[in-house]
Chain A
Amino acid sequence: MTFKRFEGGQRYIADEGLMASVNAALALRRPLLVKGEPGTGKTMLAQAIAEGLGLKLLSWHVKSTTKAIEGLYTYDVVQRLNDSRFGGKDVSDIRRYIHLGPLGRALTSDEQVVLLIDEVDKADLEFPNDLLRELDEMSFTIRELDETVVAKQRPMVVITSNAEKDLPDAFLRRCVFHYIEFPDKERIRKIVGVHHPNLEHKLLESAVERFYKLRSVEGLRKKPSTSELLDWLLVLTRAGVKPEQIEAALPFSGVLIKQEQDRDLLERVRGRPGWKGL
């Protein structure tokens, strides 16, 4: 095999399926699309791949207003205008006003890099489609210079999505897809251990049990995620809540369940047999 193989990172434990997906993306030179609930370590994965392969990581955090072209480059025409009128600088070289974006830098880099396109679903519906050509051909044109840039080293592209919006089919077909499952109890205990190392064992056990019970309620709009569990545990310890109290009721449930509709749903679920004290 001629590609570098990913075997997991030092601090990142990848399961077999995830490693298979990463290696397929590396070998077949396709972008890796990682989906999963918040708190499943999607963003961390890109770091782990970069570390594992000894490559530099470039991140592009997508927002609702992000345009595909910004990832490639921006042309600071206002600065140029300002310079020409008041700056007394030489403005004949447009190149000075072209700034490369993360994707642009990844494509022009001399060495291979890992490019993270984080939360691609945050942007406009058409955003992923606008990236297709550049990701496929690994080249782009700077219109203002009439110059085509071809990647020297094809970057490993990792794209994450929270599934807020659905991605276009044409885009999906070009990606290697992997869905990261929400961590199971054993794994979440380890994650909690990293953040709150001095937690009382019994409290942790009860809290984790309750947390998963809560997540199993059908019809929740927003299931509580890892970060909410961590916050909740912090509140519980600060308030000196005893493990028995967690078993009897759900103190500070507002930390876990934030949406009005979900609170109403819980109210209804509590009445059903087997869900008492939720």
Chain B
Amino acid sequence: MKFLMMGKKWRLFLIALALSCAQAGSALAQQIRVVATWPALADITRQIGKELVNVESLATGVEDAHGVPMKPSFIPRLNRADVLVLIGLDDELSWLPALLEVASNPKILSGQPGYIDSSVGIPVAEPPTRLDRAEGDLHPKGNPHYLLDPVYTKITAQNIAHGLSRSFPQHQAVFEKNLKVYIAELDGWIVKWEKMAVPLRGVKFVEYHQEWVYFANRFGLKRIGAVEVKPGIEPTPNHIVSLVQQIKQDKAQVILYGAQNPRVPQQISNETGIKALRLYSSSGGRPETDSYIKWIDYTLRTLVQAVSQS
């Protein structure tokens, strides 16, 4: 009744508003809902899906891969997702399977078309030769930090494109076209990064946790040790003493840490003069690394700058 009593202009305005809301809602509803575990994967998925996908990342990029909080607020997002994109190689083992247990979404369970494991076909580094927890908190399937090698990211992008096509074959041509464009863009950047990384060749470094192997292999850095005694095992005083000696002996130039406690890297830096750098192993950890390409570019530039100053 009130509606009928309104002025003509107001009625037209409200009808237009309702129609535009409905249109926006239906456009959103038509988009493929993708949940990625990490921002780097979310960005790559956006490059391939473009306007066809609506992508959310669960982690923000600042978290330790082994310490992503198991937040119940992730569950509604997983429940609504058409597709789940994950790093794989048990990278998300400590938090994702338990969330999937209660997300009530069979579409994105392992083995289903909506479950995209980005690691398929990656030449995995450091597959353990001895599966025993005496070796620390091992990744039985090998090192999962392969996104730090932009060449392997082309494989990841292919996996995502194929995974999206598996669930939504009607958009396969678009995904394949966008994949080609993204890979061409990556190739362009890889040439630039190879040139940029020339000063890093042969540079000796120490890492907190074993997560830089792919980056080091690609750009020619040499890892001489880790702050952790073994993967996931915090350093003992003896280990720190021997690491300090090794850094001095080998003349290592940088110590890399991410979401770990900066106390020990700073302590080692003070004792040896080595440059301690906090660099996250995913995009999104800093405002200037909000895309995969920006993240690798920032990481390389920061490292080159640090090495040139040391």
B is a partner of A? no
Binding site for A on B (CB under 8 A): none
